[in-house]
Structure 1
């Protein structure tokens, strides 16, 4: 290849229209992208499961904290001091 051939080839490459996807292929791809809702469904499912698991873990944590606090509470383990039991009955 000599200088004139190289120059002609470079000029031809510079003036050539940009190569792109064929129109039918591009339309087919865009049609598929428009009707493809798989990604949306997967994200929606992920967010729903994330919210459900967050709510469940919050309820379980609150239940465990309530159980621990109730098990440490000694208010109801001994009967209340009533005047009736101290004096032995009505007189």
Structure 2
């Protein structure tokens, strides 16, 4: 589709007459729109699961990082030498 075709399509769409919905259907359609919360529930469920999974992934990642850092830490592998015991040996 080139620019001329697009312009013609947009002009026809702007000048097109609106097809009216029969009055008998309009009331039922609007009632269904007002009471239909299926899409809202699906989006809410999707967002809740997304947040739960992101939280769990963050906690698992933090746990793995902490465990990895703690396993490589050699600070507490040997007990510290106490000055009291060193003084006893030097006397």
Residue 50 of structure 1 and its aligned partner are, at CA, apart by 0.5
- Using structure 2 for the length normalisation, give the TM-score: 0.70
Residue 83 of structure 1 and its aligned partner are, at CA, apart by 3.2
Residue 30 of structure 1 and its aligned partner are, at CA, apart by 1.2
Name the Cα RMSD after superposition.
Answer: 2.4
Residue 86 of structure 1 and its aligned partner are, at CA, apart by 4.1
Counterpart Cα distance in 1 of 2:20 and 2:43: 32
CA shift in 2, pair 1:86/1:28, >3 Å: same
Query: Is the radius of gyration larger for structure 1 or structure 2?
Result: 1
Between the two proteins, the alignment pairs up a number of residues equal to: 75
Residue 63 of structure 1 and its aligned partner are, at CA, apart by 0.6
- Using structure 1 for the length normalisation, give the TM-score: 0.70
User: Which structure is higher in RCO with an 8 Å CA cutoff and minimum separation 6?
Assistant: 1
